[in-house]
Amino acid sequence: MKVAINHTEGSEKTGIFSKPKTYYLASFDVQLSAEELAIIRERGLEDAVLLTWENPNDKFIPEIHVTVALLIKNRGFGRRCPTPAEAKRFDAQGREALKNLKAALEENATIGQSDSFEL
């Protein structure tokens, strides 16, 4: 798994007469290896949720869920944040989520070994 994290600043108008609103984007570009993709497909891990965050500005989609399938489809994920500090916190959450995904892929690469013992 190769990951590139980008932090950018942007702005957009929310209405005709409104001033541009500044946002801070933290984005993760993720390249999964062929082996990692095979593990995901063979073990059915596509629906696993990596990250969840509240989306208070949208009453129809109150939470955003980043699944493994969405990560594969978009080759990454990102979030617009209102402040640089929140973008940095999202960066830390994204890093942790990807570390957890890597660990899960390593655990799911092979089945457990049979064993016997006496108590």
Average pLDDT, integer, range 18-47: 95
Rg (CA), the chain: 19
**Least-confidence region, from 9-13, 37-41, 105-109:** 9-13
Q: What residues pair up with 27 in beta bridges, in sequence order?
A: 6, 78
Please report, rounded to a whole number, the percentage of residues in the chain having pLDDT higher than 70. Answer: 100
pLDDT digits (tens, 9 = 90+) for 40-85: 999 999 999 999 998 877 778 889 999 999 999 999 999 999 999 9
Average pLDDT, integer, range 86-95: 96
The token pair that represents 4 in the structure block: 């590139």
| Residue entry with tokens 């049979």 | 114
The token pair that represents 62 in the structure block: 């109150």
